[in-house]
Every structure is written in C-alpha cells, then in structure tokens.
Structure 1
Amino acid sequence: MSAGMVDWSLAVSVGSRLAGEGPEIGRAEAASVVQELRDGANRSTGLVRDFTGLVAADRTAPILVVDRAGWVQANADGFATVLAPVVDKLTSSGKAPSGLARSVGSRVTGLEVGALLGFLAGKVLGQFDPFHEPAGRLLLVAPNIVHVERELDVDPHDFRLWVCLHEETHRVQFTAVPWMAGHLLGEMHAIADSLEPSTVIEDGVARLGQVLRGGTDGASLIDVMGTPEQKEIIDRVTGVMSLLEGHADVVMDGVGPSVIPSVASIRKRFNKRRKGVGVLDRFLRRALGLDAKMAQYRDGAKFVRAVVDKAGMDEFNAVWAAPENLPSKAEIADPQAWITRVL
C-alpha cells in the first residue's frame, strides 16, 4: 500500500541524482576496495564475538558493498517497510487523499524523501538493515569510505577495517539477538496505532515549517513530530538506538588497538569530522536530527563503558536477554539506574 502514498521510484531517482557518484577511483582500485571491505566485514565477525561474547553465525546476513545509488535504493526499500504501518493506518481510515490529489501528493512526498536520501547518501559509511528478509543485510558504502579516508588522510586499510568493525557489530547485535528487529518494528507499529489520521498531514506540515524557521528551540523533526504518547515511544526507541550505536563504538575502540595500528589517530580525526562542516551541513544535521544521532554514539558508549567497568561484559550482556532489559533513554544517562533495575 505504501507505494500509493509515496512515489518511491521518484524518490530513488531524485536521491541518486543528488547523491552524486563520489570520489574518482580507477576500476582496479574500486574492485580492490570492494574485496577488502567484504573481507574486513567477514574478519570482524570473530573479532566482535570474542570481545562481546555475542554469538552470531558467520554469514547469516549478506554483505553488500554498494555505491551511493545502491544505498539510496536500499533505504527507500527500508523506509517503505518501516512506514507501511503508518500508511496502512491512513489508508484504512479513509482519511488519505485519493485520485489526482493522491497522485500529486505521492510525487511531492517522493521528491521530499528523495532529497533526504540524496543528502544522507553522501554521509553514511555503512549500516545494517535489520528489516530486510530473512535475516537483514549489511551495507558498506564504498565511495563514502574512500572519500572519508582521503579527507582524514588516514591509513586506508586501517580505516576500512575500523568501519567494518562498527558495522559488523550491528550485524552481530541483530543476528545474535533475533528478537531485536521485531521489537523495533513493533515500536513503529505502536507509533502508527497512536496516530490520528485526520491531523497527520496538517500537523506534520506545520511542524516542518517550525523546524525550518528555527522556531522550535533547536529541536529536530523527530522532536516536534509527536504527541506525548508518541514521544514516549520515541524515547524508548532512542534508548535502544543509543545502546546499539554506543555498543558498536565501544567494540570498535576495544578491538581496534589489537588489529588496527593507527586506530587512535583515526578516532581523533573522525570525532572532529562528526561535528559537521559548513553552515548548511550543520543546519541540515540539526533539522534532520543527525546531531541527536551523534549524541546517541556518545551517550550510548558512556553507558556501555560504565556498566562493563562496574559489572563486566558477561553481566552487561543481560541487556540482550529480553526487551524489558533494554535501557530507557533516562537509564542511558544513568547507568546505575539500569544496573539496579536489571542486575
């Protein structure tokens, strides 16, 4: 049903054009980068398992080394899956537009989504897509990895393995904890169930305008798009995402020194880059909630380190036992509260 509300083909076309191709690289070098990233991801599985104690079978999810257009296509597919409950709610309520209005609306939305994907396609180094059947898939965006390693002037082989460690940790998280993907998708359904279809479009447009005018005290779209009930769900999701991102950062820094000689230099330079470059980039990061994403890495890593330092990795791994063991957003900022509740 989602195809009728968003013109996904248009979104992919626009996003791919805006993303560009990335740095120039010869065919032989490109093939070498692709192979090195595949090998790095496969090598990282055992490294992550040994460090974390999480057991995920080798090659349970495919590794896709993609260009920017491939990333756009994959994420359009992912968005369609995640947004399906919301679209179904609108469609079944009879509040969704129909006929010409629906056709025009889907193209407008397709353009907006395409612009978003086009911007992000040049930023993302890799990601794990947990909603791709049957067991997810790992995406590594080769041109972006090459671009950043050149921009930071770091050892390319060290940097590629460093990125693979982070992204492979996400693959291990979701494949060693098989209920995680369903849990997050359930939260998306919960948001859909809380929507009032008659006000979704009007409120969404008004709140978008507030963000773009800077009238929301620095809030992002995520911050302003929600009722109290929806904000409660988003807080739960924020807690989970902070855990996942922070855990991956802890793993890449924990494993890194034993296999990546220049890891300290890479981390220092990469952290500086995460702050964004230029006025437009910083504005878009704030408006799209990417600043909050950076906070998830920082706060989640502090949480993981605090619990592991106090209780050890084996005790920390209780976090993966069941959904009720996941930290809340408040507990991410107060690790002792999680230790008291769960351990």
Structure 2
Amino acid sequence: MSDHPFGFSSGDDDDSRKRGEEPNDPGANNPFGFGTGGPGGGGFDPNQLGQMLTSLGQMISGMGQPGSQQAGPVNYDVAKRLARQQLGASITPVSSGTTKAVTDAAHLAELWLDSATTLPAGANKTVAWTANDWIEETLTTWQRLCDPVAEQISGMWTSALPEDAKEFAAPMVGMLGQMGGLAFGSQLGQALGQLAKEVLTSTDIGLPLGPSGTAALLPEAIAEFSKGLEQSESEIMVFLAAREAAHQRLFAHVPWLRQQVLAAVEDYARGIKMDFSAIEQAAEGMDPMALADPSKLEEILSQGAFEPQTTPEQKQALERLETLLALIEGWVQVVVTDAVGDRLPGAGALAETLRRRRATGGPAEQTFATLVGLELRPRKLREAAALWRRLSTDASVEARDGVWAHPDLLPDSNDLDSPAGFIDSVIGGTTTAFDDPLAQLAETEAREKADREKNDQGKGTESGPDLGKGEPDKDSGTE
C-alpha cells in the first residue's frame, strides 16, 4: 500500500521512465510536456496545446459515463460506484434477527457504561450497517477529509506549468481538473471498497465518520473478525457495541472534539507541498500527446512524482492529531474495561487484539494513508490509557471526565510522556476546574446569557431619568 495521497507510489522504476523519445524531444524540459524548443527555438508552442486539447477532449468524452463530469477536486460519484463494484452483488441485507442482536448488544453496553463514566449516552439510535451502508453514510465525512488533499495537488499541477504556457492553458486546466477528479475518485473508490469490507463500527478508525448521534455496527465484518477468536460472536458484539457507545458519548458531549479531530486532518492536508523538480523529471522526454493516453498518465503518477514534502505546519498538525486520537482511544479503553469488568471474561484479550490490529497498521490505517496522505496511528495509546487510569484511581471518575470540558484542559504530548505533573495538577486542589463538564458548560452559557441581558438593559436606559442621578449634568449645556 502506498504511503502517499491517493495511492501515489514512492517507487522508482527506471524502466518505467523510458518513453522511447529522442533526447531532443521538445517536450523534455517542462512539466506536462510543454517544451522550450517551440517555433523559433524557444518558448511555448501553442500548436502543442491545440493538439493536446483535442486529444484530452476525446479522452474525457470517452469517459462520459454518469457522474464522470462532476465538478470538484474528487469525483465522488465515480468513487461510490467503484467502491460498490468492489463489494460485488453479494451484499446480503441485514436480517431482522441480526438487527435485534445489534440493538440488544448496544442496550446492554449502554447500561454497563452508565456506571463507568459521567458522560450520558450519546447515540440517539443504534443501527446495523452493511458495507454498502457504511460507504453511503460516511462519504460526506470522507469528502471533507479528502477535498483539501485533492485541491492542493490539483493546484500544484497548474502552478507547475511554464509561465509562457499559462495564458494558453486555461481550457486544458479545466480538462486536467476533470482528469484529476476521475483519478482521485478512482483511488478513493478502491480504498473505500476495501475498507468497507473490514471496518467493524462507525468509529473503528478513531474518527467520527458517521452521522452525529448514530451508533453503527457492521455484523458481517464482525462475524468475519470473530473467526479464530476464543470468544463467542455474541460476546464480541457486546464488546464492540460498548466501544462504539463510548465513542459516541465522547463525541456527543464534548462538542468541540469532532471539529478538532477533523480540523487537524484538514490542516495536515492543506500543508502538503510538492517537489516541482520531481514533476519536471517525471515529464522529461515525454511527448505532449502522452497526457492524452491514460496509461501514460498513470505511469507518471506511479513514479512518485507527487511525493509530498513534510512541512513544519504538517508536523504540528500531525502531533495534534496523534495526541487527540491517543487520548480518545485511551479514554475509551479505560471506560470500556471498567464497564464490562468481569461481565465479559474475554474482554482483556479482545482489547489486546484490537490494540495490536491498530498498532500494526492494519487495513484501516493503510487505507487512510492512501486517502489523506498520513498514517492514522495513535502512537501513544498505552501512555494515554495509563494517564486516564491513574486519574480514575488517584482522583475520581468525575475528575477524569471533567478534563474533556475544554481543549485547553487536555494533556499534551509531553504530558503523556511524563504524566505525573498533569495528574498532580488535577489531584492537588485544582479539581474544581475538572468537575462535571456538562454542568460547567451549562454554567458558562448561563453566565454569558446573563451578561448579554445586562448589556441589553444598560443600552435601553442610557438616556433614562436615572442616568447620572444625584450628579450635575455636565453635558446638558447649562451652567
């Protein structure tokens, strides 16, 4: 699996670079085959653009199936169609018996969670999804995550054009945008089709992908996951329902959390920079007509010409994201462990299986790396879980959950490495700042409302008879 956005490989196959053109090919010096050896021995040759536009138009017209002309950096109609094609026609609807089993597992998990956290239930409903349902219900969030990457790469294609070519290139840029949308949509569809077969819940990769307030389990994937494990499928269903419900409680009652997690991914994507010298090298010796050949275009993409360059901003966004994911997963792990307790004898083994599945960079992480260009791995999960555990035992469950009341109260990456100081700050007299987060939010809202009402009343009485009562009216104009 590629490490680069949308599956662009970092491999360097010398044989694949050979196009068979002569060394003095006019398309050898600039990206996209625009040569500096046009008429008169220099500059951009408009005739090349005319030929290229004709061929590109024919190619795109040939792709003119429904949805292929969708505007935007990613063609999501193509993505959805390809993802469903990967699943095939053998998707079995969820039976009423399975739906009831999912609902019962979720109900039991919620009852157990009530004693393990101060955060109330966050899901309005629990549903059983097929793989097709997962694709349909999560595509909106994937669009938010993938668009920044695609926009960055598409913009860089345009900025890589030679200056003397840009004035002639406007029609071609639109066509390249459509080609890019098709290419990204194709990569997205393939990745989502694979991921849809393997995810167990809507929050399986740590992100709130599904609709707010909806907890979802995928029974078919859970049945496959259960094969070879010692626990029964019903026990595994309850355990996964507890994890899903715990995630839902956190995302529902910590109102800023969903935005912070998704924004960290978006910030990372917007920080992508490209090495234009690599793009020029990829296009070296390429005939302009090659871009009209999809196989040639795919060959360029496969050479790693679009390998992103890590920036300081990206490193900061990645650290924020990894820390948030570790804190979320660590909290869920501690809460679920306390909730299921001895009720599920195999819960510890299940937790370890899921932890290893995540830590070894399984299909979910690899797919996310392909789609968004970063690894989705909470590297400090054990440290985060240990911190939440110590807060639970050394302080209280209320103090532990109260840390989520505001993003500024959360531990950072350094606190996960050395948690003693952070834990002492919670235990040693400042726990009032970490009391019930819901009560604190309600108190803040009430205080802000009271302040607004006071200000409104003040504005209404500025010219009233009591203003300046008992004092001379200095502004009245009288002596």
For residues 190 and 275 of structure 1, what CA distance do their matches in structure 2 show? Answer: 24
Q: Which of 174, 177, 200 does residue 102 from structure 1 map onto?
A: 177
Partner of 1:178: helix, strand, or coil?
Answer: coil
Aligned CA RMSD, in angstroms, stands at 4.2
Change (3 A) 1:271 1:243: closer
**Alignment pair present for 1:10 and 2:74:** no
Deviation at 1:243? Answer: 0.8
* Matches for 1:329-340 after TM superposition, within 5 Å: 329-339=413-423
- Is the 2:119–2:253 Cα contact (8 Å) retained in structure 1? yes
- Is the 2:322–2:379 Cα contact (8 Å) retained in structure 1? no
Larger proportion of helix:
1
Deviation at 1:90? Answer: 8.0
Partner of 1:146: helix, strand, or coil?
Answer: helix
- Is the 1:14–1:115 Cα contact (8 Å) retained in structure 2? yes
- Is the 1:14–1:118 Cα contact (8 Å) retained in structure 2? yes
For residues 155 and 180 of structure 2, what CA distance do their matches in structure 1 show? Answer: 17
Q: Out of 140-149 and 309-318, give the one that drifted further.
A: 309-318
- Is the 1:11–1:76 Cα contact (8 Å) retained in structure 2? no
Aligned position for 1:116: 191
Deviation at 1:189? Answer: 5.2
For residues 41 and 48 of structure 1, what CA distance do their matches in structure 2 show? Answer: 10
Deviation at 1:232? Answer: 0.6
Q: Which amino acid aligns with 1:148?
A: F
Aligned position for 1:51: 116
- Is the 1:130–1:137 Cα contact (8 Å) retained in structure 2? no
Deviation at 1:254? Answer: 1.8
User: What percentage of residue pairs aligned between the two structures are identical?
Assistant: 21
For residues 225 and 196 of structure 1, what CA distance do their matches in structure 2 show? Answer: 5
Deviation at 1:225? Answer: 6.0
Aligned position for 1:77: 140
- Is the 1:276–1:282 Cα contact (8 Å) retained in structure 2? no
Aligned position for 2:130: 67
Aligned position for 1:208: none
**Alignment pair present for 1:243 and 2:327:** yes
Structure of larger gyration radius: 2
Change (3 A) 1:145 1:313: same
Change (3 A) 1:183 1:162: same
Deviation at 1:235? Answer: 0.8
Partner of 1:127: helix, strand, or coil?
Answer: coil
Q: Which of 187, 190, 195 does residue 264 from structure 2 map onto?
A: 187
Deviation at 1:21? Answer: 7.8
For residues 88 and 384 of structure 2, what CA distance do their matches in structure 1 show? Answer: 32
Change (3 A) 1:248 1:236: same
Q: Which of 93, 104, 117 does residue 39 from structure 1 map onto?
A: 104
For residues 261 and 33 of structure 1, what CA distance do their matches in structure 2 show? Answer: 23
Partner of 1:314: helix, strand, or coil?
Answer: helix
For residues 413 and 120 of structure 2, what CA distance do their matches in structure 1 show? Answer: 26
Q: Any idea what the Cα deviations from partners look like across 1:279-304, whole Å, max 9, x if unmatched?
A: x9699589669986364543432332
Q: Which of 281, 284, 302 does residue 386 from structure 2 map onto?
A: 302
- Is the 2:195–2:363 Cα contact (8 Å) retained in structure 1? no
For residues 188 and 275 of structure 1, what CA distance do their matches in structure 2 show? Answer: 19
Q: Which of 152, 166, 188 does residue 229 from structure 2 map onto?
A: 152
Change (3 A) 1:132 1:292: closer
* Matches for 1:189-204 after TM superposition, within 5 Å: 190-191=267-268, 194=271
Change (3 A) 1:19 1:6: same
Aligned position for 2:406: 322
Change (3 A) 1:105 1:250: same
Unaligned stretches of 5+ in structure 1? 206-211, 215-220
Aligned position for 1:312: 396
Deviation at 1:327? Answer: 2.4
Deviation at 1:237? Answer: 1.6
- Is the 1:191–1:233 Cα contact (8 Å) retained in structure 2? yes
Unaligned stretches of 5+ in structure 2? 1-69, 160-171, 283-301, 431-479
Change (3 A) 1:77 1:253: same
- Is the 1:240–1:327 Cα contact (8 Å) retained in structure 2? no
Q: Out of 63-72 and 236-245, give the one that drifted further.
A: 63-72
For residues 201 and 88 of structure 2, what CA distance do their matches in structure 1 show? Answer: 17
Q: Any idea what the Cα deviations from partners look like across 1:201-244, whole Å, max 9, x if unmatched?
A: 96xx9xxxxxx999xxxxxx9xx763111211221121111111
Deviation at 1:153? Answer: 4.3
Aligned position for 1:209: none
TM-score by length of 1: 0.75
Change (3 A) 1:42 1:116: same
